[in-house]
Structure 1
Amino acid sequence: MVGCLLIHGYTGGPHELAPLTAYLQKHTDWEIVVPLLPGHGEPLDLADLTYEDWLLAAEEAYLSLKETCDTIYVIGFSMGGMISVYLTAKYKVDRLILLATAGKYLSFGKIIVNIGEVIEDGLKGNLQENKYFNYYKDKLEQVPLQANIEFMKLVHQTRQYLKDVKVPVFIAHGQEDSLVPYKTAYYLEKELASEIKEVVIFDRSEHLICLGNDRDVLIKMVYDFLNQPI
Structure 2
Amino acid sequence: MKTGILGIHGFTGGPYEIQPFVDYLKVHTNWEIVVPTLPGHGETLELKNLTAESWMMTAEQSLRQLQKEVDRVIIVGFSMGGIIAMYLANRYPIYKLVLLSAAAKYIYPAQLLQDIKDIAKEAVVGRLEENSLYKQYSYKVKGTPIPATLEFMRLVRIVQPYYGQITVPVYIVQGKKDGIVPYATAQFIYDEIGSLKKEIVYSESGKHHICYSEDCEDWYNSALKFLKEEEEEETTSN
Task: Indicate the TM-score class for this superposition, using the shorter chain for normalisation.
Answer: over 0.9
2:179, 2:207 within 8 Å by CA — same for their partners in 1?
Answer: yes
Secondary structure of 2:172's counterpart equals strand
1:10, 1:80 within 8 Å by CA — same for their partners in 2?
Answer: yes
Amino acid at match of 1:13: G
Give a deviation string over 1:33-65, Cα, whole Å, max 9, x none. 101000000111101100100000000000001
- Name the structure 2 match of 1:23: 24
1:36-185 to structure 2, matched below 5 A, reads 36-185=37-186
Give the alignment's TM-score, normalised by structure 2: 0.92
Structure 1 residue 117: Cα displacement: 2.9
What is the distance in 2 between the residues matched to 1:36 and 1:61?
Answer: 10
Structure 1 residue 129: Cα displacement: 3.6
- Name the structure 2 match of 1:193: 194
Q: Is residue 203 of structure 2 the alignment partner of residue 202 of structure 1?
A: yes
Amino acid at match of 2:54: D
Amino acid at match of 1:209: I
What is the distance in 2 between the residues matched to 1:148 and 1:105?
Answer: 12
Give the alignment's TM-score, normalised by structure 1: 0.95
1:20, 1:219 within 8 Å by CA — same for their partners in 2?
Answer: yes
Comparing 121-130 with 49-58, greater Cα deviation is found at: 121-130
Give a deviation string over 1:165-214, Cα, whole Å, max 9, x none. 10111001011111101110000000000001101111011110001111
Secondary structure of 1:45's counterpart equals coil
Structure 1 residue 3: Cα displacement: 1.1
Amino acid at match of 1:197: K
Secondary structure of 2:33's counterpart equals strand
What is the distance in 1 between the residues matched to 2:69 and 2:125?
Answer: 56
2:105, 2:182 within 8 Å by CA — same for their partners in 1?
Answer: no
- Name the structure 1 match of 2:236: none
Q: CA RMSD for the aligned pairs? A: 1.4
Query: Which runs of at least 4 in structure 1 moved beyond 4 Å after TM superposition?
Result: none
Structure 1 residue 227: Cα displacement: 0.1
Comparing 101-110 with 1-10, greater Cα deviation is found at: 101-110
Secondary structure of 2:69's counterpart equals coil
What is the distance in 1 between the residues matched to 2:91 and 2:7?
Answer: 17
Secondary structure of 1:161's counterpart equals helix
Comparing 120-129 with 167-176, greater Cα deviation is found at: 120-129
What is the distance in 2 between the residues matched to 1:75 and 1:112?
Answer: 29
What is the distance in 1 between the residues matched to 2:122 and 2:24?
Answer: 36
Structure 1 residue 126: Cα displacement: 2.8
Structure 1 residue 225: Cα displacement: 0.8
What is the distance in 1 between the residues matched to 2:121 and 2:216?
Answer: 29
1:210, 1:218 within 8 Å by CA — same for their partners in 2?
Answer: no
Identity %: 39
Change (3 A) 1:121 1:26: closer
1:174, 1:209 within 8 Å by CA — same for their partners in 2?
Answer: yes
- Name the structure 2 match of 1:14: 15
